[in-house]
Amino acid sequence: MSIDEIIYRMLSARIFKNREKLRPDYVPEYLPHREAEINKLAEILAPAVRGVRPSNVFIYGLPGTGKTAVTKYVLRKIETYARNYSQDVKLKVAYINCRNENTSYRVLFNLCNYLNERVPFTGLSTAELFRRFIGALDKEKNLLFVVLDEVDFLVKVSGDDVLYKLTRINPDLHNAKVSIIGITNDLKFVEYLDPRVKSTLGEEELVFRPYTTEELADILADRAKQAFYEGVLDEAVIPLCATLAAREHGDARRALDLLRVAGEIAEREGSPKVLEDHARKAYREIEKDRAVEVIRSMPIHTKLITIAAYLVRRRKSEATTGEIYETYRSLCKKLMIDELTQRRVSDIINELDMLGIVNAKVVSKGRYGRTKIVNLAISEKALVEGLKNDLRLSTLILADSI
């Protein structure tokens, strides 16, 4: 295919009307199947319209269950109302994603920025930064919403110190008020929170259930209308994307990603329509990317065990713990690395199972013992790709090709 052809295809493709509508951070005008959550959150936050400080809220839910979207949506509404109905109190919203801003300093730095308080992005102590933040905030009759998305990252990296201070800030303020909204998809998160923070932060709690397959289909249909040209989507695509995304739990982000990537593949292939096959390819592509990422970040022994499982599977129909362990040991010897015990390897195989890199299930072979049979759950391509930047390891795969 020549470059002219590629560009021509791109230009003539009539697939996406507006791709942005499928991006994970896009907040739509209408959020299907989250009415209950929207209402509940609105009820909690509504006092803000009259300038009264709402309770702090803590929102839980698995990834892709609409936590961020609902929060942004409700706050946007409340902001518009507040602008029209409450002149004396200024309502502000500071949205911070703690995955990126995961230190006390960066959170406070961002908060200062929201208040247009100029502070150096390094150099001050957090205590000083906090003082300046309070100063800037308290100058006016502000009502500030601090949205801490993925707040578990902040706590994991920097502890709950800022959180503690933020939740206790109100008595120190004369004019302003602060209300905190914490969002997390780590359901065990509260366990490692200081109980004092827990009680103030969790004045109100909201739990978001995963979407069902049907609900995902509705969401996709709604977005697809805005994102694709009419008639471009084959009717089987949306149900398929919904089903694929619902395999683990109803994750709307995944579902939307699938739909978007399916569209992109169709576009690349120069197809006038997005077909079922494109969705399947999209699924494979996304899975592969995820697997590659996981493999890349694995410690050396875990990588070796994955390779061992792959090698055993290549010469036999099924791999057992014992065989994998033997192969793993010979790999270790080749690389002159100390080997782990079988006990640990058994655990690592379980970890790999959890990560979706292998499928392991325990079976009893009667007289011939009880073991796990292990299958690789990822493609050879993904494995090679994941090991690409470690030359020693990737040659192992090729070297042993008997």
Beta-bridged to residue 205, according to DSSP, are 58
Token pair recorded at residue 114? 């929201």
Residue 355: CB minimum distance to DNA, A: 13
Residue 324 DSSP SS3: helix
Residue 55: CB minimum distance to DNA, A: 29
Angle between helices 237-245 and 252-268 (to 10 degrees): 130
Q: Which is nearer to DNA, 65 or 104 (CB)?
A: 104
Of 84, 209, 191, 79, the C-alpha closest to 145 is: 79
Please list the alpha-helical segments (H only) found in 99-234.
104-114, 126-138, 151-158, 161-167, 195-201, 213-227
Residue among 1, 362, 391, 398 that touches DNA (CB under 7 A): 362
Q: Which residues contact 249 (CB under 8 A, 6 or more apart)?
A: 62, 210
Determine the length of the chain.
Answer: 402
| Sequence-ordered strand ranges (E) for 227-357 | 319-320
Residue among 366, 398, 401, 402 that touches DNA (CB under 7 A): 366
Q: Does 364 bind DNA (CB under 7 A)?
A: yes
Binding part of the chain for DNA, among 70-78, 265-273, 340-348, 391-399 by CB under 7 A, reads 340-348
Residue among 24, 47, 63, 159 that touches DNA (CB under 7 A): 159
Q: Does 187 bind DNA (CB under 7 A)?
A: no
Q: Does 297 bind DNA (CB under 7 A)?
A: no
Of 18, 66, 10, 12, the C-alpha closest to 40 is: 66
Residue among 334, 365, 388, 392 that touches DNA (CB under 7 A): 365
Q: Does 349 bind DNA (CB under 7 A)?
A: yes
Of 138, 147, 146, 143, the C-alpha closest to 87 is: 143
Binding part of the chain for DNA, among 48-56, 85-93, 167-175, 367-375 by CB under 7 A, reads 367-375
Q: Which is nearer to DNA, 169 or 309 (CB)?
A: 309
Q: Does 322 bind DNA (CB under 7 A)?
A: yes
Binding site for DNA (CB under 7 A): 159, 299, 301, 320-323, 338-344, 346-350, 362, 364-372
